[in-house]
Chains A and B, each alone.
Chain A
Amino acid sequence: MKWATRAGVHVDRAACAWLIRRFVDPGAEFIFLDDLTAVPAGATPFDMRGAALGHRRDRCSFETALASFDLTADPALEEIGRIVHEADLADERYDAPAAAGLDILIRGLTLTSGSDDETLAVTGRLFDGLYEHTRRQLITGRPPA
Protein backbone atom coordinates (compact mmCIF):
# COMPACT_ATOMS: atom_id res chain seq x y z
CA MET A 1 0.00 0.00 0.00
CA LYS A 2 0.99 3.61 -0.48
CA TRP A 3 1.09 6.05 2.41
CA ALA A 4 1.63 9.79 2.08
CA THR A 5 2.93 12.36 4.53
CA ARG A 6 4.64 15.73 4.62
CA ALA A 7 8.29 15.88 3.54
CA GLY A 8 10.95 16.64 6.17
CA VAL A 9 9.77 13.95 8.59
CA HIS A 10 10.08 14.51 12.30
CA VAL A 11 9.25 12.41 15.34
CA ASP A 12 5.48 11.96 14.87
CA ARG A 13 5.74 11.04 11.18
CA ALA A 14 8.76 8.80 11.81
CA ALA A 15 6.88 7.00 14.59
CA CYS A 16 3.76 6.56 12.41
CA ALA A 17 5.85 5.21 9.51
CA TRP A 18 7.51 2.70 11.84
CA LEU A 19 4.14 1.64 13.26
CA ILE A 20 2.64 1.20 9.79
CA ARG A 21 5.55 -0.83 8.46
CA ARG A 22 5.92 -3.01 11.55
CA PHE A 23 2.31 -3.64 12.58
CA VAL A 24 0.03 -2.75 9.68
CA ASP A 25 1.62 -3.04 6.25
CA PRO A 26 5.11 -4.61 6.00
CA GLY A 27 5.34 -3.65 2.34
CA ALA A 28 4.35 -0.03 2.99
CA GLU A 29 5.64 2.47 0.46
CA PHE A 30 5.95 6.07 1.68
CA ILE A 31 5.49 9.18 -0.44
CA PHE A 32 6.70 12.55 0.87
CA LEU A 33 4.86 15.64 -0.23
CA ASP A 34 5.55 19.34 -0.13
CA ASP A 35 2.15 20.18 -1.54
CA LEU A 36 -0.46 18.96 0.90
CA THR A 37 -3.18 18.87 -1.74
CA ALA A 38 -1.21 16.44 -3.91
CA VAL A 39 -1.98 13.12 -2.17
CA PRO A 40 -2.17 10.63 -5.07
CA ALA A 41 -5.29 8.48 -5.44
CA GLY A 42 -4.97 5.26 -3.49
CA ALA A 43 -2.43 6.63 -0.99
CA THR A 44 -3.43 6.99 2.67
CA PRO A 45 -2.31 10.32 4.14
CA PHE A 46 -0.99 10.53 7.71
CA ASP A 47 0.22 13.33 10.00
CA MET A 48 -1.13 15.92 7.58
CA ARG A 49 -3.81 18.55 8.14
CA GLY A 50 -7.20 17.12 7.27
CA ALA A 51 -6.03 13.47 7.32
CA ALA A 52 -7.96 11.03 9.53
CA LEU A 53 -4.56 9.86 10.82
CA GLY A 54 -3.62 13.26 12.22
CA HIS A 55 -3.69 15.21 15.46
CA ARG A 56 -7.07 14.67 17.09
CA ARG A 57 -8.11 16.75 20.06
CA ASP A 58 -4.99 16.71 22.18
CA ARG A 59 -3.48 13.58 20.68
CA CYS A 60 -0.58 13.42 18.24
CA SER A 61 -0.89 11.46 14.99
CA PHE A 62 0.88 8.39 16.41
CA GLU A 63 -1.69 8.16 19.23
CA THR A 64 -4.50 8.57 16.71
CA ALA A 65 -2.92 5.81 14.58
CA LEU A 66 -2.72 3.43 17.58
CA ALA A 67 -6.45 3.79 18.16
CA SER A 68 -7.29 3.68 14.48
CA PHE A 69 -5.27 0.47 13.85
CA ASP A 70 -6.66 -1.11 17.02
CA LEU A 71 -3.22 -1.46 18.61
CA THR A 72 -4.05 0.06 21.99
CA ALA A 73 -3.98 -3.35 23.70
CA ASP A 74 -0.17 -3.32 23.52
CA PRO A 75 1.05 -1.41 26.61
CA ALA A 76 4.52 -0.91 25.09
CA LEU A 77 2.98 0.89 22.10
CA GLU A 78 0.85 2.98 24.46
CA GLU A 79 4.00 3.98 26.34
CA ILE A 80 5.75 4.88 23.07
CA GLY A 81 2.64 6.93 22.28
CA ARG A 82 3.24 8.95 25.45
CA ILE A 83 6.91 9.46 24.53
CA VAL A 84 6.08 10.55 20.96
CA HIS A 85 3.33 12.83 22.31
CA GLU A 86 5.79 14.65 24.57
CA ALA A 87 8.54 14.73 21.89
CA ASP A 88 6.06 16.26 19.45
CA LEU A 89 3.88 18.48 21.64
CA ALA A 90 5.85 18.95 24.88
CA ASP A 91 2.63 19.86 26.71
CA GLU A 92 3.66 17.91 29.85
CA ARG A 93 0.56 15.78 29.75
CA TYR A 94 2.75 12.73 30.35
CA ASP A 95 5.90 12.04 32.30
CA ALA A 96 8.17 10.87 29.48
CA PRO A 97 11.81 11.80 30.07
CA ALA A 98 12.89 9.89 26.93
CA ALA A 99 10.95 12.39 24.80
CA ALA A 100 13.51 15.21 24.96
CA GLY A 101 16.31 12.94 23.78
CA LEU A 102 14.21 11.39 21.02
CA ASP A 103 13.23 14.85 19.74
CA ILE A 104 16.86 15.97 19.55
CA LEU A 105 18.11 12.74 17.92
CA ILE A 106 15.49 12.79 15.17
CA ARG A 107 15.92 16.53 14.53
CA GLY A 108 19.65 15.94 14.19
CA LEU A 109 19.03 13.01 11.86
CA THR A 110 16.84 15.05 9.53
CA LEU A 111 19.64 17.65 9.34
CA THR A 112 22.13 15.04 8.14
CA SER A 113 19.92 12.67 6.10
CA GLY A 114 19.97 12.83 2.31
CA SER A 115 16.27 11.95 2.06
CA ASP A 116 13.19 11.15 4.11
CA ASP A 117 13.59 7.45 3.19
CA GLU A 118 17.10 7.57 4.62
CA THR A 119 15.77 9.18 7.82
CA LEU A 120 13.08 6.51 8.15
CA ALA A 121 15.63 3.74 7.71
CA VAL A 122 17.44 4.99 10.83
CA THR A 123 14.37 5.97 12.85
CA GLY A 124 12.90 2.52 12.09
CA ARG A 125 15.83 0.94 13.92
CA LEU A 126 15.53 3.53 16.69
CA PHE A 127 11.85 2.72 17.28
CA ASP A 128 12.54 -1.04 17.08
CA GLY A 129 14.99 -0.53 19.94
CA LEU A 130 12.67 1.75 21.89
CA TYR A 131 9.85 -0.79 21.51
CA GLU A 132 12.02 -3.68 22.74
CA HIS A 133 13.34 -1.65 25.67
CA THR A 134 9.84 -0.51 26.65
CA ARG A 135 8.42 -4.03 26.29
CA ARG A 136 11.08 -5.58 28.54
CA GLN A 137 10.77 -2.81 31.09
CA LEU A 138 7.03 -3.45 31.30
CA ILE A 139 7.60 -7.19 31.82
CA THR A 140 10.22 -6.91 34.55
CA GLY A 141 9.15 -3.56 36.00
CA ARG A 142 12.74 -2.37 35.67
CA PRO A 143 14.77 -0.80 32.86
CA PRO A 144 16.64 -3.62 31.06
CA ALA A 145 20.39 -3.51 31.59
Chain B
Amino acid sequence: MSQPEDWVLLAYRLPRLPSAPRSAVWRKLKRLGVAQLGDGLAALPADARTREHLEWIAEEVTEHGGEAAVWLGRPLDPAARSAIMSRMTAAVVAEYDAVAAEATAARDADEATRRRVLARLRRELHRIAGRDFFPPPQRDAARAAVEDLATPRPAGVRA
Protein backbone atom coordinates (compact mmCIF):
# COMPACT_ATOMS: atom_id res chain seq x y z
CA MET B 1 0.00 0.00 0.00
CA SER B 2 1.14 3.55 -0.63
CA GLN B 3 2.41 6.05 1.97
CA PRO B 4 0.86 9.53 2.18
CA GLU B 5 3.90 11.14 0.53
CA ASP B 6 4.03 8.62 -2.32
CA TRP B 7 3.42 9.54 -5.91
CA VAL B 8 2.16 7.26 -8.60
CA LEU B 9 4.03 7.59 -11.88
CA LEU B 10 3.11 6.52 -15.36
CA ALA B 11 6.06 6.00 -17.70
CA TYR B 12 4.78 5.47 -21.21
CA ARG B 13 5.83 5.44 -24.81
CA LEU B 14 3.39 5.47 -27.72
CA PRO B 15 4.16 5.41 -31.43
CA ARG B 16 4.03 8.95 -32.96
CA LEU B 17 1.51 7.70 -35.49
CA PRO B 18 -1.40 7.25 -35.51
CA SER B 19 -1.82 10.41 -33.47
CA ALA B 20 -5.37 9.72 -32.21
CA PRO B 21 -4.38 7.34 -29.35
CA ARG B 22 -1.62 9.78 -28.34
CA SER B 23 -4.04 12.66 -28.04
CA ALA B 24 -6.64 10.49 -26.28
CA VAL B 25 -4.07 9.54 -23.64
CA TRP B 26 -2.89 13.15 -23.39
CA ARG B 27 -6.47 14.39 -22.85
CA LYS B 28 -7.08 11.80 -20.13
CA LEU B 29 -3.88 12.71 -18.31
CA LYS B 30 -4.73 16.39 -18.55
CA ARG B 31 -8.20 15.80 -17.12
CA LEU B 32 -6.64 13.93 -14.19
CA GLY B 33 -4.36 16.92 -13.54
CA VAL B 34 -1.05 15.05 -13.78
CA ALA B 35 2.31 16.70 -13.34
CA GLN B 36 4.20 16.05 -16.56
CA LEU B 37 7.70 15.26 -15.30
CA GLY B 38 9.13 14.72 -18.74
CA ASP B 39 8.31 13.31 -22.13
CA GLY B 40 6.20 10.24 -21.38
CA LEU B 41 6.43 10.56 -17.60
CA ALA B 42 3.39 11.72 -15.64
CA ALA B 43 2.86 11.82 -11.88
CA LEU B 44 0.00 12.17 -9.41
CA PRO B 45 -0.16 12.00 -5.60
CA ALA B 46 -0.79 8.30 -4.92
CA ASP B 47 -4.14 7.04 -3.69
CA ALA B 48 -6.42 4.17 -4.71
CA ARG B 49 -8.19 6.35 -7.29
CA THR B 50 -5.14 7.89 -8.97
CA ARG B 51 -3.37 4.52 -9.09
CA GLU B 52 -6.35 2.90 -10.75
CA HIS B 53 -6.76 5.69 -13.31
CA LEU B 54 -3.10 5.54 -14.32
CA GLU B 55 -3.20 1.74 -14.48
CA TRP B 56 -6.09 1.84 -16.93
CA ILE B 57 -4.33 4.46 -19.03
CA ALA B 58 -1.25 2.19 -19.03
CA GLU B 59 -3.47 -0.62 -20.27
CA GLU B 60 -4.78 1.64 -23.04
CA VAL B 61 -1.24 2.59 -24.08
CA THR B 62 -0.36 -1.11 -24.30
CA GLU B 63 -3.50 -1.83 -26.33
CA HIS B 64 -2.35 0.76 -28.85
CA GLY B 65 1.03 -0.87 -29.31
CA GLY B 66 2.92 1.30 -26.83
CA GLU B 67 4.82 0.52 -23.65
CA ALA B 68 3.70 1.60 -20.21
CA ALA B 69 4.54 0.95 -16.59
CA VAL B 70 3.06 2.34 -13.40
CA TRP B 71 5.42 3.08 -10.52
CA LEU B 72 5.17 4.24 -6.93
CA GLY B 73 7.81 6.74 -5.93
CA ARG B 74 8.89 9.47 -3.59
CA PRO B 75 11.02 12.49 -4.59
CA LEU B 76 14.25 12.53 -2.60
CA ASP B 77 14.67 16.25 -3.18
CA PRO B 78 12.08 18.34 -1.25
CA ALA B 79 12.68 21.25 -3.64
CA ALA B 80 11.69 19.09 -6.61
CA ARG B 81 8.58 18.02 -4.75
CA SER B 82 7.47 21.57 -3.98
CA ALA B 83 8.27 22.69 -7.53
CA ILE B 84 5.92 20.00 -8.89
CA MET B 85 3.25 20.86 -6.35
CA SER B 86 3.45 24.57 -7.18
CA ARG B 87 3.17 23.84 -10.88
CA MET B 88 0.09 21.67 -10.33
CA THR B 89 -1.44 24.25 -8.02
CA ALA B 90 -0.76 27.11 -10.45
CA ALA B 91 -2.65 25.17 -13.14
CA VAL B 92 -5.80 24.79 -11.02
CA VAL B 93 -5.52 28.35 -9.68
CA ALA B 94 -5.73 29.60 -13.28
CA GLU B 95 -8.85 27.49 -13.76
CA TYR B 96 -10.45 28.73 -10.53
CA ASP B 97 -9.65 32.34 -11.43
CA ALA B 98 -11.28 31.92 -14.84
CA VAL B 99 -14.42 30.51 -13.19
CA ALA B 100 -14.52 33.34 -10.64
CA ALA B 101 -14.14 35.92 -13.44
CA GLU B 102 -17.00 34.39 -15.43
CA ALA B 103 -19.22 34.27 -12.34
CA THR B 104 -18.45 37.90 -11.52
CA ALA B 105 -19.19 38.95 -15.10
CA ALA B 106 -22.64 37.32 -14.85
CA ARG B 107 -23.54 38.89 -11.49
CA ASP B 108 -25.79 41.59 -12.86
CA ALA B 109 -27.23 39.62 -15.74
CA ASP B 110 -30.91 38.74 -15.84
CA GLU B 111 -32.23 35.86 -13.73
CA ALA B 112 -32.33 33.33 -16.60
CA THR B 113 -28.74 34.05 -17.64
CA ARG B 114 -27.52 33.82 -14.06
CA ARG B 115 -29.19 30.42 -13.60
CA ARG B 116 -27.64 29.14 -16.82
CA VAL B 117 -24.17 30.38 -15.93
CA LEU B 118 -24.59 29.02 -12.38
CA ALA B 119 -25.35 25.51 -13.62
CA ARG B 120 -22.44 25.54 -16.05
CA LEU B 121 -19.91 26.90 -13.58
CA ARG B 122 -20.97 24.45 -10.84
CA ARG B 123 -20.20 21.62 -13.25
CA GLU B 124 -16.90 23.25 -14.13
CA LEU B 125 -15.95 23.54 -10.43
CA HIS B 126 -16.78 19.87 -9.98
CA ARG B 127 -14.44 19.01 -12.86
CA ILE B 128 -11.62 21.14 -11.46
CA ALA B 129 -12.06 19.63 -7.97
CA GLY B 130 -11.25 16.21 -9.47
CA ARG B 131 -7.73 17.38 -10.35
CA ASP B 132 -7.18 19.73 -7.43
CA PHE B 133 -4.83 17.81 -5.12
CA PHE B 134 -3.59 20.76 -3.06
CA PRO B 135 -6.61 23.07 -2.74
CA PRO B 136 -5.57 26.74 -2.97
CA PRO B 137 -7.54 29.65 -1.42
CA GLN B 138 -8.75 30.53 -4.93
CA ARG B 139 -11.02 27.49 -4.74
CA ASP B 140 -13.16 29.04 -2.00
CA ALA B 141 -13.19 32.39 -3.78
CA ALA B 142 -14.39 30.75 -7.01
CA ARG B 143 -17.04 28.76 -5.17
CA ALA B 144 -18.32 31.85 -3.39
CA ALA B 145 -18.49 33.82 -6.67
CA VAL B 146 -20.42 30.98 -8.34
CA GLU B 147 -22.82 30.37 -5.44
CA ASP B 148 -23.51 34.11 -5.29
CA LEU B 149 -25.29 33.65 -8.64
CA ALA B 150 -27.84 31.45 -6.80
CA THR B 151 -28.92 34.32 -4.55
CA PRO B 152 -32.04 35.94 -6.00
CA ARG B 153 -31.66 39.66 -6.64
CA PRO B 154 -34.51 41.87 -5.42
CA ALA B 155 -36.39 43.26 -8.42
CA GLY B 156 -35.01 46.56 -9.67
CA VAL B 157 -32.03 46.50 -7.33
CA ARG B 158 -28.58 45.98 -8.76
CA ALA B 159 -26.17 44.34 -6.35
Q: Which residues of A contact B (CB under 8 A)?
A: 8, 10, 49-50, 54-55, 57, 90-91, 100
Contacts and interface: CB of A to CB of B under 8 A. Distances in A.
A8 B48 contact: yes
Given A55-B60, A90-B130, A91-B31, A49 B55 contact: yes
Contacts of A55: 56, 59-60
A54 B130 contact: no
A62 to B, nearest CB: 13
Contacts of A49: 55-56, 58-59
Contacts of A54: 59
Which range contains the number of B residues in contact with the other chain?
10 to 19
Interface string B48-91: 11001001101110010000000000000000000000000000
B34 to A, nearest CB: 15
Given A90-B130, A91-B31, A10 B59 contact: no
A33 B142 CA distance: 42
Interface of B is mostly: helix
Given A49-B56, A91-B28, 13 more contacts: A10-B48, A10-B49, A10-B52, A49-B58, A49-B59, A54-B59, A55-B59, A55-B60, A57-B60, A57-B63, A90-B130, A91-B31, A100-B126
Nearest to B70: A49
B61 to A, nearest CB: 11
Contacts of B56: 49, 55
A49 B63 CA distance: 11
19 contacts: A8-B48, A10-B48, A10-B49, A10-B52, A49-B55, A49-B56, A49-B58, A49-B59, A50-B59, A54-B59, A55-B56, A55-B59, A55-B60, A57-B60, A57-B63, A90-B130, A91-B28, A91-B31, A100-B126
